[in-house]
Structure 1
């Protein structure tokens, strides 16, 4: 094998490693070798050797039988390192704390990644009835207030290039027509915030605002509240607090 061919093989192996880790990241739980092979399409023999290598290194774990595979603890270490070293997350911490205190509801900071939003920080609600959330969670942008706020920071043509004509349905309230979503994004640009009307989780409404420290915006903050607890007065308090938090974050991140 020539030097060029060897280099190509190494790059191919690196690509397969990343794709395999992303497969596990998007599909929690344990998977059989056959199930993984069907999903990724690699030759079974090379896939088995790659899984064995990643298992030995701690990036992949197996169950007690050694026949099922899932994401390993080293992936958590890398993810935690990303969060800990991110300047926006660091700058946002006191602002998120204050926003959670002012609204008494669950607060999120998320980043656009392709057609999804990835949660970078969360502050839990003070109420017993509260939405479930975790750092690292990935959700479709079109079904969340965070995602819609970030999509609105792009042109209609960019949104059409990003999303299929009929984005996936998450709940019965999800907008599954791209043109209808784009029409809503016009309103988001006009009013400065986006609303998730139980489009990602039934019984939960969310309000999101994009952060202006970068153009187009890649990060957004949101407030999630059970629909049963949302009154017009509480909704207005949430919106006011979000705009204030956006302005404070714009100031805190002006040098980034």
Structure 2
């Protein structure tokens, strides 16, 4: 590995300060927060501004905010993102941590489509595959995605329905019950299902957001009932949240 260049690291430290706070900083504030010499900060800020990575705030002399070049770089990064590829990488890391099957899914109509899957390391595992489509209301990822819809959009998708197809005896089968479940999901921030899509499997799921904060996917951890317990559910819920946050960060979300 090559040597790190201190000046470049300091310039990046300055840019990363703008990920927090009110969006603008002065040179004295940067000096204080990074504990750098004033001359060094002045030179770095001047250089970053000259390259349009920072720009002066017109109505606030001496203050700077992120410049157009950072937006161009971020937009270029977003164009190159592949949700499925990023999802597989995060799912692999989550699966290595817990030893269970991890999925990433997106919503299409009232179905979910699994775009990434990493298998459990245990001998007993669930049978599924990337590309598979399931009714959203029978899955933890689907509930998470449905709960994240705008109320008007959810109503439009459910319009004209009273009953819902069941995959097991434990599946939600009415719109009324689904709406009650989705209210719980919104309140808790995660979703779960117990034997609703597979009589031998339970799952927990968390939302994946893009850089605009919109929920674009969900990440779930699936566990055979022989390894399921309330204690295990709580552990996996936190892990799903961390994994979803990691994937969201890769998509540009700052939450």
Residue 170 (structure 1) aligns with: 167
Task: Report what 2:141 is aligned to.
Answer: 146
The alpha-carbon deviation at position 160 of structure 1 amounts to 2.9
Q: Provide the residue aligned with 2:113 in structure 1.
A: 118
User: For the residues of structure 2 that align with 1:187 and 1:133, how far apart are their CA atoms?
Assistant: 27
Task: Compare CA radii of gyration and give the structure with the larger one.
Answer: 2
Moved over 4 A (4+): none
Deviation at 1:216, TM superposition (A): 4.4
Residue in 2 that maps onto 1:189: 186
* 2:197 is the alignment partner of 1:200: yes
Structure 2 matches for 1:232-243, cutoff 5 A?
A: 232-243=230-241
Moved more, 156-165 or 95-104: 156-165
Shift of 1:232: 2.6
Q: Distance in 1 between matches of 2:131 and 2:236?
A: 24
User: What residue is the counterpart of 2:26 in the other structure?
Assistant: none
Per-residue CA deviations over 1:11-51 (Å, capped at 9, x if unaligned) read xxxxxxxxxxxxxxxxxxxxxxxxxxxxxxxxxxxxxxxxx
Q: Which residue of 1 aligns with 2:245?
A: 247
Q: Supply the distance in 1 between the matched residues of 2:245 and 2:219 (Cα, whole angstroms).
A: 12
Shift of 1:218: 2.9
Aligned runs of 1:47-62 on 2, under 5 Å? none
The count of corresponding residues between Structure 1 and Structure 2 is 172
Paired residues of 1:109 and 1:220 also in contact (CA < 8 A): yes
Structure 1 unaligned residues grouped into runs of 5+: 1-84
Q: CA deviation at 1:94?
A: 2.5
Q: Pick from 126, 132, 142: which aligns with 1:131?
A: 126
Q: Provide TM-score, normalisation by structure 2.
A: 0.63
C-alpha distance after superposition, 1:163-200 (max 9, x if no partner): 32211111111111101111111110111111111111
Q: Secondary structure at the match of 1:220?
A: strand
Root mean square deviation of aligned Cα: 1.9
Asked if the contact 1:154–1:216 (Cα under 8 Å) also holds between the matched residues in 2, the reply is no
Per-residue CA deviations over 1:50-69 (Å, capped at 9, x if unaligned) read xxxxxxxxxxxxxxxxxxxx
Q: 2:98 aligns with which of 95, 98, 103?
A: 103
